[in-house]
């Protein structure tokens, strides 16, 4: 992969936790389409990003931008049909997962890469207790007996700060609150000590206080385990304190990637500027929120040129004719905009 942001790092040396350090997961020019009766939707159009040990990459974008589909493709749980991978690679420790057998990918899921899903109530099986579902992983994947697996499951519930973990072991998902269900989902995802954790909208439908608790918990567990984490969200406020880098997606493409501080201070793409401007500000009380005009594109009929051009306040004729490539526009950052250099160098 030609990585324009960070020079290639070795993944062979052990980190402080005894794990391999450096590059863990690489997504390279990934392409996915959905084939339906109404036509073909180009859902992922050349996504490239990576995550290193101990690093948090936040993937931002509106609903329908391709964030979750990319994660499902990485995990090997994309529904086929209608979804089909038409190009690219997903490399874990340098090995392309898209060319692995189903059994090889199954071994990586959970132990190598794990995922927290958006809706914990849907992800957890309603007819089994939460403790049973966590303990099952230790029995099946680690060969533990029931007593030892139960002890480890209770330890996991305790690690994610569920009160009275031993007493809650035999509770069913519907007996947990939304925040507690999300903690249980995190415990299940981390049970096999994965190297990479994909958190897909982990704070959806939770109140602000619980959101902060969940994000603090994920950050704490990541530091302890030196995991790489991909945090998928549409809320820039959620990632400000936890992300190291941010990749912004639009219409199935990465349109900007940068260090979190650089991206907030001086975004290099009009779409990123629109997302940041739409965040409520305490110093602008009583004023209307800024919005990005228009709607996300129909992925069955993506407009020519830059996909964002029908909504972009900076659009020029070149934007309607030529797709801007994702190019380096400074140290450790890239943008897919014909006017990225002007945006980065503006006073």
Rounded mean pLDDT of 76-88?
A: 93
Average pLDDT for the chain: 88
Please determine, for residue 2, whether its predicted confidence score (pLDDT) is greater than 60. no
Lowest-confidence region among 13-22, 114-123, 292-301, 306-315: 13-22
What pLDDT does 10 receive?
37
Tell me the C-alpha distance between 143 and 152, whole Å: 12
Rounded mean pLDDT of 113-126?
A: 88
Tell me the C-alpha distance between 234 and 325, whole Å: 23
Instruction: Tell which residue, 31, 6, 56, has the closest CA to residue 199.
Output: 56
Rounded mean pLDDT of 120-125?
A: 86
Residue 19 pLDDT class (50, 70, 90 cuts): low
pTM beyond 0.85: the answer is yes
Tell me the C-alpha distance between 150 and 132, whole Å: 8
Choose the CATH number for 21-112+196-279 among 3.60.20.10, 3.40.50.300, 3.40.30.10, 3.40.50.720: 3.40.50.300
Rounded mean pLDDT of 10-18?
A: 41
Instruction: Identify the residue whose tokens are 């500000």.
Output: 281
Domain assignments of the chain as residue spans, ordered by start: 21-112+196-279, 123-191
| Strand ranges inside 217-302, DSSP E | 228-233, 245-250, 253-259
Rounded mean pLDDT of 207-228?
A: 86
Other CB atoms within 10 Å distance of the CB of residue 60: 25
Tell me the C-alpha distance between 342 and 236, whole Å: 23
What pLDDT does 191 receive?
92
């Amino acid at each position: 992969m030609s990585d324009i942001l960070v020079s290639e790092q070795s993944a062979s040396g052990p980190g402080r936790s005894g794990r391999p350090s450096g590059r863990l997961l690489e997504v390279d020019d990934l392409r996915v389409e959905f084939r339906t009766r109404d036509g073909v939707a180009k859902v992922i159009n050349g996504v490239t990003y990576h995550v290193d040990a101990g690093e948090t990459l936040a993937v931002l974008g509106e609903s329908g931008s391709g964030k979750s589909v990319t994660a499902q493709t990485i995990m090997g749980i994309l529904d086929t049909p209608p979804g089909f991978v038409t190009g690219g690679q997903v490399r874990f420790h340098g090995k392309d997962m898209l060319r692995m057998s189903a059994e090889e990918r199954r071994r990586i899921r959970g132990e190598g890469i794990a995922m927290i899903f958006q809706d914990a109530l849907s992800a957890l099986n309603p007819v089994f207790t939460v403790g049973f579902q966590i303990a099952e992983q230790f029995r099946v994947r680690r060969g533990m007996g029931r007593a030892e697996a139960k002890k480890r499951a209770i330890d996991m519930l305790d690690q994610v700060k569920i009160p009275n973990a031993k007493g809650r072991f035999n509770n069913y998902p519907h007996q947990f609150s939304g925040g507690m269900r999300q903690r249980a989902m995190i415990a299940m995802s981390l049970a096999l000590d994965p190297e990479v954790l994909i958190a897909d909208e982990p704070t959806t439908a939770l109140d602000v206080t619980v959101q902060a608790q969940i994000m603090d918990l994920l950050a704490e567990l990541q530091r302890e385990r030196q995991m790489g984490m991909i945090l998928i969200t549409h809320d820039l406020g959620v990632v400000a304190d936890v992300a190291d880098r941010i990749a912004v997606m639009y219409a199935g493409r990465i349109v900007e990637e940068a260090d979190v501080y650089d991206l907030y201070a001086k975004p290099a793409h009009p779409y990123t500027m629109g997302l940041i401007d739409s965040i409520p500000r305490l110093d602008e009380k009583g004023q209307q929120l800024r919005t990005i005009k228009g709607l996300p594109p129909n992925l069955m009929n993506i407009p020519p040129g830059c996909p964002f051009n029908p909504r972009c306040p900076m659009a020029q004729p070149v934007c309607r004719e030529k797709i801007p490539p994702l190019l380096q526009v400074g140290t450790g950052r890239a943008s897919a905009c014909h006017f990225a250099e002007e945006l980065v160098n503006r006073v």
